[in-house]
A and B are shown apart, each in its own frame.
Chain A
Amino acid sequence: MNPIHRIESRSVALPTANIDTDQIIPARFLTTTTREGLGRHAFHDWRWLPDGSPNPDFSLNRPEHAGAAILIAGHNFGCGSSREHAPWALLDAGIRCVISTAIADIFRNNALKNGLLAIVVPAEVHASLLEHAGERLAIDLERERIEREDGSAIPFTIDPFARDCLLAGVDELGWLLARRPQIEAWEERRAWNA
């Protein structure tokens, strides 16, 4: 995984509350056995009309939002299933950061493991970010702050371990694998106790 320090992009708004994982990627696109190429299916049924053409009313399709990598999403984003296809699809579609007032637990976990920043902000801050959707934002992961176009900055916190992994570009599996001796010792102790 490549280290992540700073994400700079225009923001794009999707203020609907409770955007569930079936909206992020419908189940019929989960029939793959790989992680690649899911971007086309991100928000599929909102993004594409039944004939396959882009839905002009969907915010991410508007030309002024092309290339936007920071999504300001409605409350309780990512509720529903544990499918990691959701962050895979968003990343493949160019989204690198989701900001909301609440993000569902399993989605947030999955997102951080793949380098998709999931940031929770207070309601007033969220309202202001939505109001200024389309502004240029910079997410500084090291300093844990969102820098706004007007020069102000919004602090946030992200799980410190996930943050260290993202900054260093290492994945958690490597770290866990290094704990194998401790895990095996624990297994033995437990078997002996039982």
Chain B
Amino acid sequence: MASLTLFEKIWRRHEVEAAREGRPAVLYVDLHLIHEVTSPQAFAMLDARGIPVARPARTLATIDHSTPTGAPDAAGERSWANPATRAQVEKLLANCQRHGITVHGWDSPHRGIVHVMAPELGHTQPGMTIVCGDSHTSTHGAFGALAFGIGSTEVAHVLATQCLLKRKPRTLAVHVEGCLAPGVTAKDLALHLIGLIGVDGGTGHVIEFRGSAIRALSMEGRMTLCNLSIEMGAPAGLIAPDATTIEWLRGRPAAPVGVDFENAARDWLSLASDPGCHYDREVHVDATTVRPSVTWGTDPGKVVPIDGCIPIEADANAAKALSYMGFTPGAAIAGQPVDVVFIGSCTNARLPDLRDAAAVLRGRKIHPRVRMLVVPGSEAVKRAAEAEGLDRVFRDAGAEWREPGCSMCIGMNGDIARPGELVVSTSNRNFEGRQGPGVRTVLASPATAAASALAGAIAAAASTLAEEAA
């Protein structure tokens, strides 16, 4: 039998009809995730035709994007950014109820950012096809699931037929060999790779991350990396399921149990790319060269090591970014004054991320100029962090410990900074205005973000810790 890639194996298992005579393949979707922002128009498309949701049990909903992250007041009232955000949430709850779709709303102990919640509950499983009206659906690729973002029209397609029309993407193997140095996280690796591959380098491709450095990552680290595949232009990233994947999934509420789990696990391990399989492109990266990294510009590919310098402008695009960021070409990125620090998002708001940040902050105070928001990725992450006392560490340091949601990653819920302010953020996009009009964003790992909160300026976590030891 021909050698197949992980991608090819999943694709073949879901092809209801292969592409032919100029039309795309019909691809079956195992798990469809929805949230309040990109689904209302899709439900309206079904309503306009008077058709039902075909397989409501295969869709799972949460509220995350426009939800307030302040605690409700004594009367249970929430601090909605505006009536429209509230209407979106109410619309989703109503649509789910009407169509028999499970939704993790305010009363659910599992509610969370869609890409944090679904894996946590064990809905995300190897070999699946998973889609959501959200580009960071690539996150679920960490489990060896083919997962990608779709638009609202396609959300309607999936609701109505459980299928999508899809052209087969090409494959790009990114081999990362060697050990990441201590203090270098999956986020740093991802930023490094975006810088290397470029924000359009993966366009039209599914990336498979391979190699010893990838196998050494925790599931959370793999999710961080696959989450950022879309920032390399690739709608999906993939990592082959292995023992780490299987142990992480064992015992999750939606995972199979007993002998079913063992059978599933054997099948999942068989999904790994076969020796000698063919990729359309391959890139090799030496993990030992990766350093803690941050962005300096207005797209996630404009990356420097934290001890590096802001580049001397090379082209019009870089010049435009530099002028928006207000950075001086050639200056050190470390030491740039910081106004706000955000720890959160589907990229970096899982328990290990919060632990990394708390380890830097423990027993210290953030800089008086800095406002720091810590927003756990889900109710479950929040509970687990509180059980460990991480909330106290953050509060004692002077940070705000908030309710789960997307928050400042996208700023739809009113969590934004002021024009001109510089935010060090553990999220995924530093686009102009992403965190509020005129706001400047620097992407970083949780440890770097926490260290920057202490210093009141962009700072490496390692130096903070060394100082403590001295």
Question: Interface residues, chain A, CB within 8 Å of chain B?
Answer: 16-18, 20, 22-23, 26-28, 30-35, 45, 50, 74-76, 79-84, 87, 102, 104-106, 109-110, 113-114, 159-161, 164, 171-173, 175-177, 179-180, 182-183, 186-187, 190
Contact = CB atoms under 8 A, between A and B. Distances in A.
A33 B47 CA distance: 14
B156 interface: yes
B434 interface: yes
Contacts of A171: 153
A141 B22 CA distance: 16
Contacts of B37: 30-31, 83
A105 B154 contact: no
Given A159-B24, A160-B23, A183-B162, A27 B411 contact: yes
A159 B82 contact: no
B151 A18 contact: no
Contacts of A50: 419, 437
B268 to A, nearest CB: 14
B203 interface: yes
A22 B430 CA distance: 10
Contacts of B28: 183, 186-187, 190
Given A33-B40, A33-B41, A102 B200 contact: yes
Given A16-B320, A82-B151, A160 B135 contact: no
A27 B410 contact: yes
Given A22-B432, A80-B135, A173 B153 contact: yes
B235 to A, nearest CB: 5
Given A45-B432, A74-B317, 4 more contacts: A34-B40, A34-B44, A84-B38, A179-B163
5 contacts: A30-B412, A45-B432, A84-B153, A109-B150, A161-B165
B16 interface: yes
B412 A110 contact: no
Interface hub of A34, A83, A177, A180 (most chain B Cβ within 10 A): A83
Given A173-B153, A173-B157, A23 B431 contact: yes
B301 to A, nearest CB: 8
Contacts of B163: 176, 179, 183
Contacts, number: 173
Given A32-B84, A84-B41, A84-B153, A18 B91 contact: no
B233 A76 contact: yes
A106 B149 contact: yes
**Top 8 closest pairs, chain A to chain B, by CB:** A160-B22, A110-B151, A82-B149, A33-B40, A31-B84, A84-B151, A76-B200, A22-B431
B150 A82 contact: yes
B195 interface: no
Interface in B303-330: 317, 320
Contacts of B437: 26, 45, 50
Interface in B163-195: 163, 165, 167, 169
Nearest to B19: A161
A49 to B, nearest CB: 11
B26 A183 contact: yes
A25 to B, nearest CB: 11
Given A33-B40, A34-B40, A82-B38, A180 B161 contact: yes
Interface in B87-117: 87-88, 91
Interface hub of A33, A84, A104, A110 (most chain B Cβ within 10 A): A33
B135 A82 contact: yes
B433 interface: yes
A35 B212 CA distance: 46
B38 A83 contact: yes
Interface in B11-28: 16-17, 22-24, 26, 28
